[in-house]
Amino acid sequence: MKHLAKPTRRPAALLLAVAILFTAFCALRLPAQAAGTPTSLGLAEHGIMAYEDGWQYVYGGQGETNSEGVRVSDCAGLIYSYFKDLGTETGCCAGATSQVNYNCVFSGDVDELYGIPRIHGLVITMPDYNDPATGIYSHIGIYIGNNMATDNSDYGVNMVRDQVVGSGRGWTAWHVFDNGTQYPSTGWYEFNGSLYHYTNCQYDVDTTVDGFTIGSDGIALGSDGSPLSPDSTEAPALSQEYVSASTVAQQLKSLGYSGKDSTQDLVFGDDVPADDQLNGLVTANGVRLRKEPSTQSAQVATLSKNDKVQIVEMVSGEELTAEGTTTDQWYSVITARGLEGYVFALYVEKEASLDAPVFSLSDSGDLLITAGEGCDIRYTTDGTQPTGESTPYTGPLTLSGTYRAVAVQEEWTSPMATITYAGGKLYTDFTSEDWYFTTVDQAVALGLFSGDGTQFSPTKLITRGEFAAALANLAGVDTSAYAGTSSYSDVGDSWYNGAVNWVTSQGIMSGMGDGTFRPTDPITREQLCVAIANYGGLTYEGGAGAFADDSSIASWAKDAVYACKSLGIISGMGYNTFAPKDNSQRSHACSIILKAYQNGL
């Protein structure tokens, strides 16, 4: 019996060991970021992990483990499971259309020539041509870069890793997922075991950064020509700078993306009513949209109370009685999704649609909100969608922040209007949720920085000409007194002419040695420090610890860099690096100018 007992125990022990190894392996397969902090890189790595681990397709699955020890999901559940694994699934929807409608902040079309923005962890979708009444997106996947995506496809197919453009599968749109997701901004980042360099929220391709060659796939190469790994001795320090989905949206908008995809037009055609054409309100639940004005006609869709429609005309049809009233009147309508049909007139209230509120400034610089006659205005400042129950607007507003407002009249609510009120000015390309909001608010109020109309362009790289103008603002100089002929061949009579002439005359900034100033070139971080030091007469007295990449700082810039560091005007880029050759975004330069002001420079 003892001899029989050994073979019985050995398989049990082996099974236990295998179970422990499997558990450890699964733990290692989780995306490498801090718990509770979803990132786009983590979402993309999650998609790769699910493909490599062989997740199976189960409709409604959200990452559960089946009896065979394999995780399962459907297409939307694959995305949902990433947030569930992190414990941040609250607010994350579980359907493809719901995820786009409620968890994405910016969208665009997959272009057959240019593909999609170079951002790991975007989500991509296919249209639902067969049953759009339940949602216009039939399928959703995760973009993992280099024109590749992963998705949990269908029964018997399971996880797929394939091209986006060129696969023939029908991907048509991309979306910036939110739900708290953080995105890489500028610097070096690890993704799937390789190093990528991001600039202004997109990874770089076909270029050289910090001496490293970057291929068309975005992967940096080491000195031996092989992909550069994070643990390589020559690997640069990784950036810890991440930005919100709304900041990514603003950056893409500044590049000309519209923020909308064409899925609705693909599904319904381009005859979808505009918001200001929706002039009818459905007054009950379960109202049937019919193909003809008769209850014997085929049903096109079921409408719900408060659905908006465009009333085309009133026609005579089958006589019906509702709530004690008998009539043969029907409305020919088009729904907000472009479905056409007829609705019994007693179930639709005809009403003029409302225009969104309009923001403006009073003569004293206060924020004003106006709407159509007879409308109440409701607004929020906490990032939520305003409703008829939100704070009523009663007069000029003076507190800086991002305002979202709607006009309300009885059951009708207008489209939402959004504005950011900062420094007494109105901006549309950032919100109070962005890290630089307070900095911009203060700098604009002090006249140190300004935007172009309602565009502040916070994530755009600041140019040498723009920084010269910012220094002139800091000094309170009337640059018109310096406007005129420039000693530089590339300045001319541009708007920054006076500022460039002033910084040159004061020895604050100089040209490039070839007769040019290069005013439209981005200014590097070390050039920026030299200009600040020259402006403020700063000298380095010692005491500031050296940056880890000190050897990369030009000799002519080191004293200026460390003088600025000692005053707290500049700081590092993570891992005690300075990245002297990197360029600065306008938001970073705004922060530096404000700190210089606060230091009495």
| Structure token digits, residue 230 | 């994070």
pLDDT tens digit string along 188-240?
999 999 999 999 999 999 999 999 999 999 999 999 999 999 999 999 999 99
Q: What CA–CA distances, in Å, run from 107 to 99, 110, 125, 246, 542?
A: 12, 10, 10, 12, 50
What angle is formed at CA 579 by the lines to CA 534 and CA 222, rounded to 5 degrees?
150
3-state secondary structure 498-511: HHHHHHHHCCCCCC
Q: Check whether 333 has a pLDDT greater than 60.
A: yes
Mean pLDDT of 335-347: 88
Say whether both 445 and 560 belong to one domain. Answer: yes
Bridge partners, 343 (sequence order): 331
The residue range of the domain holding 518 is 437-598
Say whether both 206 and 143 belong to one domain. Answer: no
Residue 259 within a domain: no
- Return mean pLDDT, the chain: 88
304 pLDDT tier (thresholds 50, 70, 90): confident
* Dihedral class, residue 84 (left if φ above 0, else alpha if ψ from -120 to 50, else beta): alpha
How far is Cα 182 from Cα 15, in angstroms, rounded to an integer?
40
| Res 113: pLDDT | 65
For residue 273, what are the contacts with CB-CB under 8 A and spacing of at least 6? 309, 310, 334, 336, 338
112 pLDDT tier (thresholds 50, 70, 90): low
| Structure token digits, residue 132 | 């759009």
Neighbours of 473 (CB within 10 A): 19
| Res 352: pLDDT | 58
Mean pLDDT of 101-121: 88
| Res 279: pLDDT | 82
3-state secondary structure 451-468: CECCECCCCCECEHHHHH
| Res 595: pLDDT | 96
How far is Cα 546 from Cα 577, in angstroms, rounded to an integer?
9
How far is Cα 464 from Cα 455, in angstroms, rounded to an integer?
19
Mean pLDDT of 341-347: 93
Pairing of strands 325-335, 287-290: unpaired
Residue 265 within a domain: no
Q: State the DSSP string of 208-258.
A: EETTEEE-TTS-EE-TTSSBPPTTSTTPPPPP--EEEHHHHHHHHHHTT--
How far is Cα 358 from Cα 182, in angstroms, rounded to an integer?
31
Q: Check whether 15 has a pLDDT greater than 60.
A: no
Residue 285 within a domain: yes
Residue 432 within a domain: no
Mean pLDDT of 137-155: 95
DSSP state of 552: G
Say whether both 423 and 446 belong to one domain. Answer: no
Q: Check whether 318 has a pLDDT greater than 90.
A: yes
Contact of 451 with 466, CB cutoff 8 Å: no
Q: What CA–CA distances, in Å, run from 415 to 142, 250, 369, 386, 387?
A: 30, 20, 14, 10, 10
DSSP state of 429: S
Residue 23 within a domain: no
Q: Check whether 543 has a pLDDT greater than 60.
A: yes
Pairing of strands 242-244, 182-184: antiparallel
| Res 544: pLDDT | 83
DSSP state of 315: E
Half-sphere exposure of 364 (CA within 13 A, CB side): 5
554 pLDDT tier (thresholds 50, 70, 90): very high
Half-sphere exposure of 574 (CA within 13 A, CB side): 12
How far is Cα 504 from Cα 515, in angstroms, rounded to an integer?
13
**How far does Cα 167 stand from its chain's mean position?**
26
Please report, for the domain that includes residue 148, its CATH number. 3.90.1720.10
Question: Among all chains, which residue has been given the structure tokens 């009539």?
Answer: 327
How many domains, the chain?
5
Least confident of 101-105, 183-187, 306-310, 407-411: 407-411
Last residue of a domain, which of 427, 462, 481?
Answer: 427
Mean pLDDT of 343-354: 82
247 pLDDT tier (thresholds 50, 70, 90): very high
For residue 476, what are the contacts with CB-CB under 8 A and spacing of at least 6? none
Mean pLDDT of 6-23: 38
Say whether both 176 and 100 belong to one domain. Answer: yes
Last residue of a domain, which of 382, 409, 427?
Answer: 427
Residue 248 within a domain: no
Please report, for the domain that includes residue 411, its CATH number. 2.60.40
Strand-by-strand arrangement of the 62-65 sheet: 56-57, 71-73, 62-65
| Res 270: pLDDT | 63
Say whether both 173 and 295 belong to one domain. Answer: no
353 pLDDT tier (thresholds 50, 70, 90): low
Say whether both 461 and 575 belong to one domain. Answer: yes
Last residue of a domain, which of 168, 183, 198?
Answer: 183
Say whether both 340 and 193 belong to one domain. Answer: no
- R_g (Cα) of the chain, nearest Å: 29
| Res 114: pLDDT | 66
Say whether both 414 and 364 belong to one domain. Answer: yes
Q: Check whether 159 has a pLDDT greater than 70.
A: yes
Least confident of 78-87, 366-375, 407-416: 407-416
Say whether both 47 and 113 belong to one domain. Answer: yes
Say whether both 446 and 586 belong to one domain. Answer: yes
Say whether both 409 and 458 belong to one domain. Answer: no
**Residue 230 dihedral angles phi and psi, to the nearest 5°:** -60, -25
pLDDT tens digit string along 49-63?
999 999 999 999 999
Mean pLDDT of 26-54: 76
**Residue 249 dihedral angles phi and psi, to the nearest 5°:** -60, -40
Residue 274 within a domain: no
Q: Check whether 489 has a pLDDT greater than 60.
A: yes
Please report, for the domain that includes residue 304, its CATH number. 2.30.30.40
Residue 380 within a domain: yes
Residues composing the chain: 601
Say whether both 444 and 380 belong to one domain. Answer: no
Percent with pLDDT over 70 in the chain: 92
